[in-house]
Amino acid sequence: MRQLLLLSVGFSPRPWGFTNFRFQFQQKRHWILVQNLLHSADLAGSNLIVLSAYIVIYPSLIPTIDVISCILIALNPLCENKLAPNYSYFLALAFCTSSKLRASYSVYCIGQSKKTEKPVFNEGGSILRQPQRLWILATEYEPHIIGGLGTAVTNLTKAYVRSGVHITVLSKSNYSRISITNRKRLCIVRFPARAPYYSSKTRQFNPAAIERWIKQQGYLKPDGIHIHSLQFMNVAKYFRLKRRIPVIYTSHSLVALEKGPSSKRKRMTMGQQALLLKKTNMIAVPSRSELGKLKKLYPFVAGKTAIVSHGIVLRKSEARSSRRHLLYVGRLVPLKGIEPLLKAISKLKQDGNKVRLDLVGTGPGGYVHHLKTLARKLSISSEVHWLGFRNQSKVQKMYATCGAVVMPSNQESFGLVALEALASGIPLVSTRAGGLAEFVNSRVAQTIPRVDGTTIAASIKAMWNNKRLTDKRIASGRRLASRYQWPVAASRYKKLFRQL
């Protein structure tokens, strides 16, 4: 059972001892308010230890208490008095800074309004040795995942929750209404991409509208914000500057390095990313390669960057289909090398090889149409299967049944799909572009030295023709993938938040 310290402000029983929790409150309503707060914070059933505020003046009187978590709840019978929450907060601050307890601390001010006679919960601030509440800002979260970003956000969030952090995910809804999903220590709020919550002109969510909705729902202020998607840039910037909440931005890709013609929308997105990089407290990237590119493009980020590798979920290796059955998972965009891959399939077919390629993912409509037209021109329409979007659970099942994963990317910030393939015990044929170079090598995969149809075809044939070496690479790949764990990534991020 978790133990909690309750710091009482406004009453002074025995100044250097403990007192019975129920007798601490002179009115029944105060007890009810505390009960409600504990329930809303998922702390019901915890063992409460009550200290008088008087003891703060004499920190030497604080006994040695072994606690896992310490929540200081400052009781304010006069919550309508603006001085009361501040008074409570500073007393709690004195307690936190003077005590020797090895625990995490959060401060809540609680009281009751005489006008409405309704409970009032006013979070006065947080003195954190470890973050207790975080907001995750991302447009992708299961089951609505497009690429590696959504997979990373979902698995990282689950690791946060398992470590005891309360998470609120602010994401994008595919429908016209706000949807809310509640789980233990996890709340997923999806806002529609329409007014008043979203501007299609700027492609940004509206922080004022979101804050109004959050206040109406009575959500507690977070100890930190972890942003992954640029569409939430204005939201993160607003709460960072106006509400003094620390922000960590995980940069999954750099817009300036994406191939394709320059456009007004691309220039706008580049500007938004540059502004987020300036305003955020800390920037995390998944690989050394990505960090080098970031510093070269934006020298001003020096001194506030960190590398946090993605994790993986290890699964039991299962029987595979023929290695002639190839799988690609990811966005259908030029950087991913899909056109050369289609040409490689054509060459393999011309050489008399039986081959099947499943393409999982979506992309811009015009470019997807171009790819399908190319497949028809190459006479490989029967060999190539366009599967579109698949949720993460279905993708994992496909890993368990396909013969090999092909990753012909020209650029990757990390390459989560390649790591998932290694973890699943699947033969991997991949480039070493960008972040892939940190774990893809000839010991674990058949590498693609150049991104062109002939070279990709030769690499696939090499994987087919050397079964013994391929099996050896599978075993080495699973061992390597086991070192990348989401709990490690979550722990690293929590450490970064503690430093802010």
pLDDT at 48 over 70: no
Q: Measured in whole angstroms, how far is the alpha carbon of residue 468 from the centre of its chain? A: 38
Q: Is the peptide bond before 131 cis (omega within 30 degrees of 0)?
A: no
319 lies in some domain: no
Burial class of residue 122 (count of CB atoms within 10 Å of its CB; 0-12, 13-18, 19+): middle
Are 192 and 273 contained in the same domain?
yes
Are 307 and 330 contained in the same domain?
no
Are 468 and 410 contained in the same domain?
yes
Q: Which two three-digit tokens encode residue 182?
A: 């509640």
Are 429 and 474 contained in the same domain?
yes
Are 377 and 269 contained in the same domain?
no
Residues 6+ apart with CB under 8 A from 261: none
Are 259 and 349 contained in the same domain?
no
Strand arrangement, sheet containing 224-227? 179-183, 186-192, 166-173, 133-137, 224-227, 247-250, 282-285, 305-307
Are 97 and 236 contained in the same domain?
no
Looking at mean pLDDT, say which of 55-64, 113-122, 278-287, 412-421 comes out highest: 278-287
Contact present, 218 and 212 (Cβ < 8 Å): no
Name the least confident of 2-6, 113-117, 142-146, 274-278. Answer: 113-117
Residue 321 neighbours by CB distance under 10 Å: 12
Amino acid at 48: L
Q: Which two three-digit tokens encode residue 416?
A: 């989560």
What's the rounded Cα separation, in Å, for the pair 498 and 439? 29
61 lies in some domain: yes
Give how many domains the chain has, as a whole number.
3
Burial class of residue 33 (count of CB atoms within 10 Å of its CB; 0-12, 13-18, 19+): buried
What's the rounded Cα separation, in Å, for the pair 153 and 169? 10
**Tens digits of residue pLDDT in 482-493:** 899 999 999 999
Phi/psi at 138 (nearest 5 deg)?
-160, 140
pLDDT at 37 over 90: no
- Per-residue pLDDT, 132: 83
Q: Which two three-digit tokens encode residue 458?
A: 């030769």
Are 360 and 466 contained in the same domain?
yes
What's the rounded Cα separation, in Å, for the pair 160 and 196? 30
pLDDT at 113 over 50: no
- Per-residue pLDDT, 497: 94
- Per-residue pLDDT, 316: 66
- Per-residue pLDDT, 124: 36
365 lies in some domain: yes
- Which of 125, 154, 175 finishes a domain? 125
Q: Specify the higher pLDDT residue, 184 or 99.
A: 184
Name the least confident of 55-59, 162-166, 468-472. Answer: 55-59
In CATH, what number is assigned to the domain containing residue 156?
3.40.50.2000
Q: Specify the higher pLDDT residue, 7 or 381.
A: 381
Q: Specify the higher pLDDT residue, 429 or 31.
A: 429
**Tens digits of residue pLDDT in 88-99:** 444 444 444 444
> Which of 246, 249, 232 minimizes the C-alpha distance to 284?
249
- Name the helix (H) or strand (E) containing 214: helix 207-217
The pLDDT confidence band at residue 123, using thresholds 50, 70 and 90, is very low
Q: What is the mean pLDDT of the chain?
A: 79
Name the least confident of 99-113, 235-249, 354-368, 413-427. Answer: 99-113
494 lies in some domain: yes
Are 298 and 338 contained in the same domain?
no
**Angle, CA of 33, 166 and 492, to the nearest 5°:** 145
97 lies in some domain: yes
What's the rounded Cα separation, in Å, for the pair 78 and 34? 15
The pLDDT confidence band at residue 401, using thresholds 50, 70 and 90, is confident
318 lies in some domain: no
Percentage of residues in the chain having pLDDT higher than 70:
72
Are 121 and 176 contained in the same domain?
no
Percentage of residues in the chain having pLDDT higher than 90:
59
Are 292 and 360 contained in the same domain?
no
Residues spanned by the domain of 366: 325-481
Residue that is written with structure tokens 């599978």 in the block: 474
Name the least confident of 93-107, 291-305, 329-343, 459-473. Answer: 93-107
* Mean local confidence (pLDDT), 196-222: 93
- Per-residue pLDDT, 393: 80
424 three-class SS: coil
What's the rounded Cα separation, in Å, for the pair 456 and 407? 10
The pLDDT confidence band at residue 439, using thresholds 50, 70 and 90, is very high
Name the least confident of 39-43, 238-242, 431-435. Answer: 39-43
317 lies in some domain: no
Alpha-carbon separation of residue 160 from 116, 134, 226 (angstroms): 37, 9, 11
Alpha-carbon separation of residue 405 from 307, 313, 432, 437, 460 (angstroms): 26, 17, 14, 17, 10
Residue that is written with structure tokens 């920037």 in the block: 283
* Mean local confidence (pLDDT), 78-104: 40
Give, rounded to a whole angstrom, the gap between the first and last alpha carbons of the chain.
Answer: 30
Are 145 and 283 contained in the same domain?
yes
Residue that is written with structure tokens 């401060």 in the block: 107
450 three-class SS: coil
* Mean local confidence (pLDDT), 88-116: 40
0.85 exceeded by pTM? no
Phi/psi at 224 (nearest 5 deg)?
-165, 160
C-alpha neighbours within 13 Å on the C-beta side of residue 345: 29
Q: Specify the higher pLDDT residue, 236 or 51.
A: 236
> Which of 57, 398, 163, 417 minimizes the C-alpha distance to 431?
417
320 lies in some domain: no
**Tens digits of residue pLDDT in 264-288:** 999 999 999 999 999 999 999 999 9
